[in-house]
Amino acid sequence: MESNTLPPLAWIYGLGNQKRETVEMVLEHLQKQAKAPIPTGGAVLPKSSFLGGLNINKDACTLCMSCVGGCPEGALLDNLDEPKLSFIEKQCVQCGICVSTCPEQALLLAPRLQTVEGRKQKVELNETKPFHCISCGKVFGTAKMVDLMLVKLGAHGAFAGAALDRLKMCGDCRVVDMVKKEI
């Protein structure tokens, strides 16, 4: 007697073992079959969703890139040439590590369903002008970050008076300046 069992759906549709790839394939198929398009900005999903984007408070963000270092999926990207923070929604699993690691509390998860094409796009979340070392001219941070350091550390004894300029220097020039002052 012959068996009438069908092969698993994974064989029929060519699905692999990668869960995220399978979800993306299913979302793409459902989007093509939908009678109405996904609204601009995406459809809101429950907080427990593993799909979504990020909202950023640009005024609070200093572009310290802690979020980039904390992101386990590479959804957040920095730019080596200029201070920019980018995001690829397809990579984001809504784990919240970026939100937890942000010292300025500038990030907030935004569970939503975007179009497949929208999820693949690299989007700039924030950018600012670089800050140049006042001694050698090398870029070492952003103006917002240096201003924040001046406010937070300005009252510290190590940076009293003229030494406050050390906060406006790159790490190398700061050390050289400290050694020169001790001699």
pTM: 0.76
Q: Where in the chain is the domain with CATH 3.30.70.20?
A: 9-125
Which pLDDT value is given to residue 7?
Answer: 54
| Per-residue tens of pLDDT for the chain, all 183 residues | 455 564 555 555 666 667 778 888 888 888 888 899 888 888 999 999 999 999 999 999 999 999 999 999 999 999 988 899 999 999 999 999 999 999 999 999 999 999 999 999 999 999 998 999 999 999 888 888 888 888 888 888 877 777 788 889 998 998 998 888 775
Q: Which CATH architecture has domain 9-125?
A: 2-Layer Sandwich (3.30)
d(CA 92, CA 20): 10
Which pLDDT value is given to residue 3?
Answer: 54
Q: Measuring CA to CA, how many Å separate 28 from each of 71, 85, 89, 96?
A: 25, 27, 15, 25
Cβ(170)–Cβ(133) under 8 Å? Answer: yes
